[in-house]
Structure 1
Amino acid sequence: MSADEKAAAVGETPQTDVEVAASHNGPVDTSVPKTWKYRQIRLGPWTLPWYASPQTQLLIVAFVCFLCPGMFNALTGVGGGGQLDHRAADDANMALYSCFAVIGFFAGTFTNVIGVKLALSFGGFGYSVYAASFLCYSHTANYGFTVFAGTLLGVCAALLWTAQGAIMMSYPNEDSKGRFISWFWMIFNLGAVIGSLIPLGQNIHVTEKKTVSDGTYVAFMVLMILGAGLAWTLVDAKNVIRSDGSRVILMKNPTWRTELFGLWETFQTDPYIIFMFPLFFASNWFYTYQFNDVNGTKYNLRTTSLNNTLYWTMQIVGAWVFGYALDMKAFSRPTRARASWIALFTLTMAIWGGGYAFQTTYTRDNVGKLYDWKDDGYVGTMFLYMFYGFYDAAWQTCAYWYMGSLTNNGRKLANFAGFYKGIQSAGAAIVWRLDRLKIPYMNLFASCWALLAGSLVIALPLILLKIKDHVTVEEDIKFSDETVEEVAPRGSVDEEVVKKAP
């Protein structure tokens, strides 16, 4: 006799799936819809989150980025898009980030109107075209197609990264945002690790500088197309329900007019976000120097591929360390914010100080001997490059966590993510152009170090004054047309609070 039949025999009401889950995982809201999206699966002692939960949706988004920007990072990390001549890659990336900067600033508006599913899928399509352009360039030297692909990707990536940022920062509860960012960044960069193993495996015996093989580009294209398709398995943000019954704060009926006005409202309600703009600007500035002027310049092809793999592996480590540290419940959120700032500033001085010592050994006019992984002296430079990867993950994790600490409103966080990616891309477009103009390597290095340290100092007032232990639901819904009763955890809404809420 089944459990339900036994219950019926003694006059009891059979348990629902959600009530059964509560007996395994503690309190779970029992007012969620009884559809497949909210059905939980038990595996022995474990109960998996329902499909429309923040955890499952984050996992899907992470694998979309694993397959699309993760593979893009692997391709970019070998320097010059895998080409010996970096001119086409430099110009494609200038076009990419210039377009990204413009579209990204307004991408929160677009994402709020069209939804995260379409934004992510369209974004993935652009990455596959970009990889295809380099395959074409290997055979036809079609410079125009490569630059066009970079421009198209600027539009696509702006939407993908804004949707991703909004999901990552607005779906989790306040006390788990660091872990959500960490999980995303680790899965996403696992894509770059696996992607970088492709050129490493295919070129493991190549000890000179050489263009990567056609098979490498084809593999990237296929994986990116799969990522674009995977985005369609997401649910709409309005259907996401947390385990306590609370929902993501959005506009119920967004229009182009409301979301364009919402972009302006963001500056009115949160003008202090401007203190983060230099930190946003610096957050991708150093990629050009690291990928083109260190890894793409001082090493032969197989060693460049190995460095690339190690760089993205250390991204996983950095995201895990900082993501979990930022959620430590033993300390208040303001204390964690200040400690993370101190850690970032210390790492900036230590890692980039080591980078200065390495940069003094070569110039653009005199690169000197190319390193192979068997050479004496390589190991020290390898660890420097690994710590560059660790540092990037720490920086990005903290930047997202700072933004997520300011609000839980999905609509506002989409705009924050758009500001972040747009301003970040403006910086990237400038530095790709500087590299294209063959600015001395030491000058580019100095600009990285100065921007990173200076932007941390400028962001300090926001970190000290605006990050609080908790942002109330009443405060969060001021930027939407929803009510406390519609988004708060079920059974936790005080009637007097509802009456007073906007």
Structure 2
Amino acid sequence: MSSTLVMESQHREEKRIWYRSTLFNAFVIGAVGFLAPGLWNAMSSLGAGGAESPFLVNAANALVFGLMGIFCLLGGPIANRIGLNWTLFLGAAGYPIYAAGLYTNNRFGNVWLVLVGAVTCGVSAGLFWASEGAVALGYPEPSKRGRYMNIWLIFRTGGPLVGGAIVLALNHGANQKKKGKVGPNVYLIFIALQCIAAPIGLLLTRPEKVQRSDGSKVKVVHEKSFAAEIRAVGKALSRRDILLLLPVFWAAYFNQYTGNYTVYFFGVRARALIGFVGNFAGLLASQLISLFLDYRGISVKKRIQIGFYYVVFWHVVSWTYGWVVNEKFTKETPDLDWTSPQFTLGFFTLILWNFSQQSLQNWLYYFVSTKTGNISELSRFTGILRGQESFAQAVSFGINTHDWYGGRVPLAVNTILLVLSVPPTWIAVREHVPVESEKIYQSDEDRIQSEVLDEDDKNKIAVVKSTVG
């Protein structure tokens, strides 16, 4: 009892340092997300990285996400060995090489650097996502997790917004109404901005030094060796609750037909406009579901259950609408500019796909974050989540290297995968018991913050309650 009170007293007396706060670290992870994957998404939202034909870029992206899936799984063990800040640094370093490959392909027709960039980007992206997810979900107080996750995602979506604005500014002329490729100057700007991301990652505070506003500490329990870390990943992958979620991990980001859809049916400047405006759908989706997931009027379990029905509803809406419009456009083969009468009809397909996809990913990250209070274990879970999403994206990009008539094969595969993922996900939701507990106050001056209710924590709480009583 006395040791617990001493610990809490030390928490209160600890000098507050602004760059160790959860808000500062949210901005660090957000800035790296803005500059690295955010700008990568800006290029991707152009449709096939802004290229005239989607097939080389789709093949490169299949390589990116295949490697990303592997290094997402390894990201947790690596982060627990070298630290989250260095993992984040390495996780941003490969992105500008990928952008350089797109530039040389656009300007000179070079192919090899596109593939080299895909390798470096795939390795970096895996490390980035494993570390980013752990920071975004493990650093904040549990009661603010949705809010800080939203800050992270706003930054990451801000990258495509700014990138989309740059692309639109450089590709809005009347001579760019038709299908084709974007101008090469776009990539030079992206390369310069992405080079800044890696040094920013080093500003991240180590987990044990993070200062939460409520005085609680980030729980860090490392394995003793890298081999033990790998075994821990294998153990996490074999858990029943994780196995039940594997189908939805695959389904969440499987839809990479969007790039082909944009190239097939829209002119260059229309694609530039879509790349800019379309990101607002992701921002809105993130804001809405994050506000709900942090709402303390109902229990965490109930929020997760309601969130499940919410994302199912939006996927039914978006995929029904998407199928109808895609079939219509397949028959008509339009070349849409933003002045075309059917532009809005086609644009809303991408808006709805983006909205439903972002809602699902926010919900999944929140769901996974309530499985543990230990940031080392959380890095494994987020690595598994993003790793499986990456494997799915690799397969999806691979499927989309072929010019399927009307995109019916990738759309059908995605629809079937989404439907099959619903029953096991619901079982996982029904069986889930969130690890976080509410604060238990001893008095106005003294309190105990319970992050994970293991047996030792329960004993401490029991002692406090009996003493107060």
TM superposition score normalised by structure 1 = 0.83
Which of 439, 442, 461 is the aligned partner of 2:404? 439
- Tell whether the 8 Å contact from 1:107 to 1:418 is kept in structure 2 after alignment: yes
Residue equivalent to 2:245: 276
CA-CA distance at 1:244 after TM superposition: 2.3
Counting aligned pairs with the same residue, the percent is 21
* Map of 1:46 onto structure 2: none
Query: Match of 1:51, SS?
Result: helix
Alpha-carbon distance between aligned partners in 2 of 1:87 and 1:168, rounded to the nearest angstrom: 34
1:169-191 per-residue CA deviation (whole Å, 9 max, x = no partner) reads 11122222111211211121011
Aligned to 1:391: 356
Q: 1:332–1:469: 8 Å Cα contact kept in structure 2?
A: no
Within-5 A mapping of 1:476-495 = none
Aligned to 1:159: 127
Letter matched to residue 442 of structure 1? R
Residue 331 of structure 2 corresponds to residue 361 of structure 1: no
Indicate the SS of the match to 2:278.
helix
Amino acid at match of 1:389: N
Given the alignment of the two structures, is residue 30 of structure 1 paired with residue 12 of structure 2, yes or no? Answer: yes
Contact 2:105/2:111, CA 8 A, preserved across alignment: yes
Give the AA of the match of 1:304: R
Alignment pair present for 1:313 and 2:283 = no
Distance 1:267 1:391 in 2: 26
2:192 corresponds to: 222
1:375-422 CA distance string (max 9 Å, x none): 112222222322222112101100101101111110111001111111
| Candidates 128, 133, 136, aligned match of 2:104 | 136
Say whether the 8 Å CA contact 1:344–1:395 is kept in structure 2: yes
Q: Quick one: distance in 1 between partners of 2:168 and 2:192? A: 18
Deviation track 1:60-92 (CA, whole Å, cap 9, x = no partner) reads 101110011000000011112111122321111
Q: Which moved more, 1:441-450 or 1:199-208?
A: 441-450
Kept in 2: contact 1:108–1:162 (CA 8 A): yes
What is the CA-CA distance between 1:494 and the residue it aligns to?
5.2
CA distance in 1, matches of 2:222, 2:157: 34
Secondary structure of the structure 1 residue equivalent to 2:13 = coil
Matched AA of 1:150? A
Segments of structure 2 that go 5 or more residues without pairing to the other structure are 1-8, 439-449, 465-469
Paired residue total:
442
Instruction: Go from structure 1 to structure 2 and tell me whether the alpha carbon gap of 1:350 and 1:495 turns closer, same or farther (over 3 Å shift).
Output: closer
Larger Rg: 1
RMSD: 2.4
1:314 alignment partner AA:
A
Measured in 1, the distance between the counterparts of 2:13 and 2:222 equals 20
The Cα shift of 1:266 comes to 2.6
CA distance in structure 1 between the partners assigned to 2:249 and 2:436 by the alignment: 24
Aligned-residue offset at 1:349: 1.0
Unaligned runs of 5+ in 1: 1-26, 40-49, 498-502
Match for residue 229 of structure 2 among 259, 264, 267:
259
Which secondary structure does the structure 1 equivalent of 2:60 belong to? Answer: helix
**Which of 210, 214, 232 lines up with 1:244 in the alignment?**
214
Letter matched to residue 184 of structure 2: D
- What is the alpha-carbon distance in structure 1 between the residues aligned to residue 217 and residue 70 of structure 2? 31
Instruction: Give yes or no for the alignment of 1:100 onto 2:65.
Output: no
Contact 1:28 1:244 in 2 (8 A): no
CA gap of 1:469–1:232, structure 2 versus 1, over 3 A, is: closer
Indicate how the Cα distance of structure 1 residues 31 and 263 shifts in structure 2: closer, same or farther if over 3 A, else same: farther
> Which of 295, 298, 305 is the matching residue for 2:262?
295
- CA contact 2:435–2:453 (8 Å) conserved in 1: no
Question: Hey, what does 1:47 align to over in structure 2?
Answer: none
Inter-partner Cα distance in structure 1 for 2:436 and 2:86: 32
Matched, 1:109 2:80: no
What residue is the counterpart of 2:165 in the other structure? 197
Cα deviation digits, residues 126-167 of structure 1 (max 9, x gap): 111000011111233221221121112111100001000001
CA distance in 1, matches of 2:120, 2:234: 26
SS in 2 for 1:387: helix
> Structure 2 CA distance, aligned partners of 1:129 and 1:348?
35
Q: Does residue 183 of the first structure (1) align with residue 183 of the second (2)?
A: no
Distance 1:253 1:346, change over 3 A: closer
The residue type paired with residue 185 of structure 1 is: L
Q: Residues 368 and 456 of structure 1: is their aligned pair in 2 closer, same or farther, counting only changes over 3 Å?
A: same
TM-score of the two chains, using structure 2 as the length reference: 0.89
- Kindly indicate whether the alpha-carbon contact (under 8 Å) linking 1:204 and 1:302 is maintained by their aligned counterparts in 2: yes
